[in-house]
Amino acid sequence: MVPDRMHRGSYLDGSRRRLLHTLGVLALALVSFGCSRDDRGLRCPPGSLLVACRQRCTSDGDCLAPAHCDHLTSTCQQPAILCDPLAGMSRPPADGGSPKNEDCPHGQECDLITRTCVPLSGSACGQDSDCRIGELCAGGACSPALATRSCLRDIDCAAPSVCRLTVASGKLVSVCASPLGPSEGGARCRQNAECQSGLCLRSGVCYAACTPATSKTDCHGREAVICGRVPLALPGSSTDAPPSWVQSCTLTPAACQSDRDCEPSGTTCQAIVDADRPTQLRTVCLWSPGATHPGGPCTKDSDCATGLCQGTFCFAACRSATDCRPGFACRMASYRTDGQRGMLQSCVPARSCSSRMSCPASDETCAPQPSAGEDSLELVCTPGRGRLPGQACRSHHECASGICSDQALCVGGCGTDSDCPAGPGGEPELCRPQITRVRGVSGKIKTCLIPPLPCRRDADCSTSDVICNPYSSLDDSTRIAPGCGPATNPGKRGAGSACVLPTECRSGLCLMNTQPPVCYGICSQDTDCVAGRRCYADSTWFLTSGTAGEASATYDATASCWPDVGSRRPCVGDGSGMDCPAGELCILLPDARQTAFVKRCQRPLGSMLPGALCVEDKDCQSGRCAVAIGATSRRCIAPCSTSGPTPCSAGTGCKTGSLEIRPGKTASLTFCQP
């Protein structure tokens, strides 16, 4: 929630005692007030808060941070940029991407202390003023200032400073700083700007550091307010990162099972992390952050009265189906909030469909949702705002289904090709099965797809921002059919380039199992790769259906650019000098479908001979350290011949046995073993 641009003003023609009594803002008694004329030449009415009413000052200390004293007008002025450091950070985005604060430009984030956009911690600098509060410029980079006063509670800080949260080296720390708003810790709140700490918790209470033994003092004796554990997501943290738990004054909200339980207090039944059991979620009555009713369409959490947008529709707790909108059922479902996943009884779409035309409500579309068992997907009529299946998109939130495919088309149910519109370029779209993932659950649904232009390398595609992608075949979704499509990161590094992060690669995929890691890219020959890399067939595998680690899963592979590991030509493993080129040995690799082994020549990876005891793959010349079926210890695995020269280490020989290719798939062959 973006903080309200508070008008920290002052008042004329009224007693200060009556004013403070009316507003309940005792903290403002610390400073003197004055009021200037506004742009219309009018004076401020008693008890009003107008933009033109400015707090009189002689120095920055007279103003509530982040305001500063403007010496030309002798009034407190707000900085040019105000932002909310925790905007969008309490829950991951609906599209599964990385969280970001849209209040600030690239390379900056919202400082928890000043509430202004500042360079990222550790940024390059030339002087101290280039850095955020609490950091100094040292060696050309912003570093934490050791002299910043830390605190545990407000009482540790000299008035009017309070103990506030900031981020240092990626961790939440508490430092003494000027108050941001008028309300003290433990006071009821709706917005961050109301609190001295600058943070209004989801429980509707202003954050204040506390200890259970001193909670009455720390929380100013507020009724029903205790000192408890509160989860906070750090700005910029990944969607999978657990929350940071802080000790704070917080309300003990009433438990609920549906909104009916919360009607007397004017609140809604919302999902939060259970402070007593932080690995679980619970439902409690909290103030409504948004206006959309439970079960209604949404694109973000702040749209919803219940504070949680479940992809495309607002969370709704329930006892029975009577608490849900038509077409919804009341059952257990998986949710993620404040970095924690758990099961809650709630309203979920239950009306099956095959296309948008089979959904009766005007705010519904036919979209994939996890099934009742959370182990597959089903097409159901789902509330959602945005573009229909097959229409062009750039991000998930643009689509009514909440899913934008890697073909830049909104995903949704279809029955026949006639349910699909023309593609962004006027090309025909086809209704075909596609593997889709929704909130951690994978499944195959029929959706609108564009038949991609077949390719064998990036050069086969038209422009630099279009590359050869590993799409699922429209005829057999368990197979990969490379086709031209938009690059994930246009202008970034090409196939085979060294990488550390996926964002460095044009394909959006950095192969971490190569040495060094390289950017994935489909190829047909070595010249399709950057200098020093080679094109190897069936070298990169993709899960095409099912769940990884299960026998029912299917895989398919594409050629890709790798660091040079040798010829990778076929071999038989008979140990003869003619089997592999000098300096190479015969190794085992999964075939394209990961259903059988193939034998290929490759340079040794590690130092240990076939059959030797090992700990991990890189220990072995063969690059494979595994436990054979029926064995108990891990050994270096390489094929051999019972009639030819043996490459096996001392104490082992060439014998027939069974190896696991992947979970649920085994093969019988001869290899070195005791």
Per-residue confidence (pLDDT) for residue 8, from 0 to 100: 27
Give 202's pLDDT tier (boundaries 50, 70, 90). Answer: confident
CA dihedral 489, 494, 497, 498 (to 10 degrees): 0
Give the whole-angstrom CA distance, residue 614 versus residue 634: 6
**How do beta strands 635-636 and 653-662 pair?**
unpaired
Q: What is the mean pLDDT of the chain?
A: 80
pTM: 0.54
Phi and psi, residue 359, nearest 5°: -105, 120
476 pLDDT exceeds 50? yes
Higher pLDDT, 79 or 472: 472
- What pLDDT, in 10s, does the model give residues 117-150? 777 766 778 876 677 666 667 777 776 665 567 8
| 234, 545, 611 from 170: Cα distances, Å | 8, 37, 45
CA atoms within 13 A on the CB side of 140: 0
Per-residue confidence (pLDDT) for residue 438, from 0 to 100: 84
Give the whole-angstrom CA distance, residue 558 versus residue 524: 10
- What pLDDT, in 10s, does the model give residues 379-404? 999 998 889 999 999 888 899 998 99
DSSP, residue by residue, 477-523:
TTSEEEEEEE-SSTTSB-TT-B-SSGGGBTTS-EETTSSS-EE----
Share of the chain above pLDDT 90, in %: 39
Are 290 and 272 spatial neighbours (Cβ–Cβ below 8 Å)? no
Q: Give the mean pLDDT of 39-51.
A: 32
Q: Give the mean pLDDT of 191-220.
A: 88
Degrees (nearest 5) of the Cα angle 420, 398, 345? 100
Higher pLDDT, 34 or 269: 269
H helix or E strand, kind and range, residue 601: strand 597-602
Share of the chain above pLDDT 70, in %: 79
3-state secondary structure labels for all residues of 555-595: EEEEEEEEECCCCCCECCCCCCCCCCCCCCEEEEEECCCCC
- What pLDDT, in 10s, does the model give residues 234-260? 655 555 566 778 889 988 788 999 999
| 423, 478, 545 from 435: Cα distances, Å | 20, 9, 6
Q: Which two tokens stand for residue 356?
A: 């948008």
* Cβ-proximal residues to 579 (8 Å cutoff; 6+ apart), any chain: 571, 572, 573, 586, 601
Local structure of 657: helix, strand or coil: strand
Higher pLDDT, 395 or 214: 214
Burial class (CB in 10 A: 0-12, 13-18, 19+), 359: buried
Q: Give the mean pLDDT of 301-318.
A: 88
166 pLDDT exceeds 90? no
